[in-house]
């Protein structure tokens, strides 16, 4: 298997884990978080992930809601926007969260 076929490139020819199982792969991974996956051959895939606030998780778990947001982003990027004017008059209203 040629890994370059899948868009991979070699960053280090070989690394060795320390006594605690840690690998140093260098600056390419600095400050990032990863999901670690392993297959039956023992190959390890590091998949970069980002954390989202728990209160926003509902959006990513709701296919209809996320599709609506993505549609809105696409429409905005294509200039399909409508100016509804100022909402300043509503700024002082109390919400159910207060």
- Boundaries of domain holding 67: 54-90
d(CA 47, CA 37): 8
- Residues 18-75 pLDDT 10s: 999 998 988 988 999 999 999 999 989 999 999 999 999 999 999 999 999 999 999 9
| Spatial contact of 11 and 28, defined as CB atoms under 8 Å apart | yes
Give the residue among 71, 91, 90, 92 at the shortest CA–CA distance from 81.
71
Question: Same domain for 34 and 58?
Answer: no
Identify whether 7 is part of a domain: yes
Residue 97 binned pLDDT confidence (cut-offs 50, 70, 90): low
Query: HSE on the CB side for 74, CA within 13 Å?
Result: 6
Question: Same domain for 7 and 44?
Answer: yes
Question: Same domain for 36 and 8?
Answer: yes
pTM here is 0.52
Give the tokens for residue 74. Answer: 């696409």
Supply the pLDDT for residue 98. Answer: 54
């Amino acid at each position: 298997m040629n890994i370059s076929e899948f868009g991979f490139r070699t960053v280090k020819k070989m690394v060795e884990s320390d006594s605690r199982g840690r690998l140093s792969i260098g600056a390419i991974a600095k400050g990032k978080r990863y999901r670690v996956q392993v297959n039956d051959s023992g190959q390890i895939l590091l998949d970069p992930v980002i954390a989202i606030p728990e209160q926003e998780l509902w959006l990513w778990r709701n296919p209809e809601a996320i599709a609506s947001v993505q549609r809105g982003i696409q429409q905005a990027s294509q200039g399909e926007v409508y100016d509804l004017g100022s909402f300043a008059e509503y700024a002082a209203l109390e919400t159910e969260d207060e």
